[in-house]
Amino acid sequence: MTIAPTDRLVDRLGFLEPLGEAVHQLVARLEAAAGPPGAAVKDLLNGTWLGHPLHPALTDIPLGSWSGASLLDLADRGAGGDLGRAADLLVGVGCAGGVAAALSGVADWQDKYGKERNLATLHAVLNVSALVLMSASLAQRLRGARGPAVGMSAAGTGAAIAGAYLGGDLVFRLGIQVNRNAFSEGPSQWCPAASAGELEEGAVVRREVGGRQVMLTRLDGEICAASAICSHSGGPLDELGVEDGQVRCPWHGSRFALRTGRVTRGPATVANPVFQTRVRQDRVEIRLPPR
């Protein structure tokens, strides 16, 4: 089996795992101490309200601003003219965006484990380094020391680009933050799923129907069916049963309204697919709602 170059790099950097574990424990203590307000902030940073992760959108601000600043610095040639002053502004905008991106990144990173967390920790180290370099560059620019400022900006932009590469590796190779139900399309036609007599109030039955893992139960007498796979990381939503009309993922605590699939608690950001149900000759049949 071919090992990805980034995996080989992470294996060589032995400090990543203990660093990640130490930060993970610190963030967990802070989250626990903050209570419900802390959970609400985490949902905000995860992007639960947005319908997809917030972090990728925020990273465009520092990457775009810092890349533009580097080009303007190159065109300005250290003269400190209009182009140089425009570069200074972009560095400042990028630093502000970098802080927001870092906070949302920590919220996402907190729910990662194993090799995913180690690679994400390296991603974070590079991006934090970029933010520190760019902040130092901004301080030098305000002092009028353009030579050191431009050099720091170039190094910071390089670190940010390397961090962005690892971010792409995390999403497109390892599949983090990807909707786990995105590529399951059926059943579009009515398919038998269970016997009506099997379904009891609040008790969850799991079945494979049309190639999908589906959970079925009764809620106030109504037969409900939904995907048994958490959209966030693929956890088993049927494992913990139904509480207050919701199901909860045992892996990271995401909650979904059983009837509608709406996310009621992160870190999940994408709604859980739900199915139409009907009973024919004591057999429960399900299908996806027509589009």
Which residue, 172, 199, 223, sits at the end of a domain? 172
**In this structure, are 147 and 216 located in the same domain?**
no
Q: Average pLDDT for residues 130-157, to the nearest whole number?
A: 95
**In this structure, are 71 and 214 located in the same domain?**
no
Q: Is residue 71 part of a domain?
A: yes
Q: Is residue 219 part of a domain?
A: yes
* Residue 159 falls in which region: left (phi positive, over 0), alpha (psi -120 to 50) or beta: alpha
Which residue, 143, 172, 201, sits at the end of a domain? 172
pLDDT bracket for residue 78 (50, 70, 90): confident
**In this structure, are 108 and 155 located in the same domain?**
yes
**In this structure, are 253 and 141 located in the same domain?**
no
Separation CA 4–CA 150 (nearest Å): 34
Q: Is residue 142 part of a domain?
A: yes
Residue pLDDT, tens place only, 27-76: 999 999 999 999 999 999 999 999 999 999 999 999 999 999 999 999 99
Q: What is the pTM of this model?
A: 0.90
Which residue, 140, 172, 204, sits at the end of a domain? 172
Q: According to the model, what pLDDT value does residue 3 have?
A: 82
State yes or no: pLDDT of 189 exceeds 70: yes
Q: According to the model, what pLDDT value does residue 184 have?
A: 85
**In this structure, are 128 and 262 located in the same domain?**
no
Q: According to the model, what pLDDT value does residue 77 have?
A: 86
Please enumerate in sequence order all residues whose Cβ is within 8 A of that of 231, keeping only pairs 6 or more positions apart, or say none: 179, 180, 181, 254, 268, 269, 270, 271, 272
pLDDT bracket for residue 290 (50, 70, 90): confident
**In this structure, are 82 and 201 located in the same domain?**
no
In Å, what is the CA distance from 30 to each residue of 23, 41, 102, 107, 114?
A: 11, 12, 16, 12, 22
The CATH number covering residue 205 comes to: 2.102.10.10
Q: Is residue 186 part of a domain?
A: no
Residue pLDDT, tens place only, 216-226: 999 999 999 99
Helix 114-143 to helix 16-46 angle, to the nearest 10 degrees?
80
Percent of the chain at pLDDT above 90?
A: 90
pLDDT bracket for residue 1 (50, 70, 90): low
Percent of the chain at pLDDT above 70?
A: 100
**Residue 257 domain boundaries:** 191-287
**In this structure, are 21 and 164 located in the same domain?**
yes
- How many domains, the chain? 2
Residue pLDDT, tens place only, 246-279: 999 999 999 999 999 999 999 999 999 999 999 9
